[in-house]
Amino acid sequence: MTFLGFDENWKMVEGNQVDYPTHAEVFSDKMQETIAVKLEEGIVIEEIPFMSEVEIVGDATIWIYDYEDTVYRGNNNVSEIKALAFSLRAERVKRVGGGQFKQEQKQDQKPEQKQEHKG
């Protein structure tokens, strides 16, 4: 697969907007298609030049998204549609023939807090 860059349009984690890209775009020669690769939290792709070969290492899970979209077809011909898209959630992404991938932990992560529900 060929690394095309980060998808600047997808910056969402569990429905909340974040200030960093959460997906990378790759081109698959086998599929002849551009695929969004959802990066697991903490994965940072560093020093992968544009158009370099990358591979997914470990598990990859397909994620299917449904969303509403507006399609414009000429003069005043506007349709509201429900669309589907998919991405792969990657365990690891690395450059083919390059060094190891870099995985960083966020420094400001807090331990999970459990909430009690009183009824």
Q: What pLDDT digit, counting tens, does each position of 53-104 carry?
A: 888 877 888 878 787 888 888 888 888 888 887 778 777 777 787 654 444 3
List phi, psi (to 5°) of 69.
-140, 155
Domain boundaries defined on the chain: 2-103
Q: Which residues pair with 33 in a beta bridge?
A: 28
Residue 26 or 109, more confident: 26
Q: What is the pLDDT of residue 20?
A: 73
71: tokens are 């399609």
Closest by alpha carbon to 25, among 48, 42, 41? 48
The identity of residue 16, as a single letter, is N
The model's pTM is 0.53
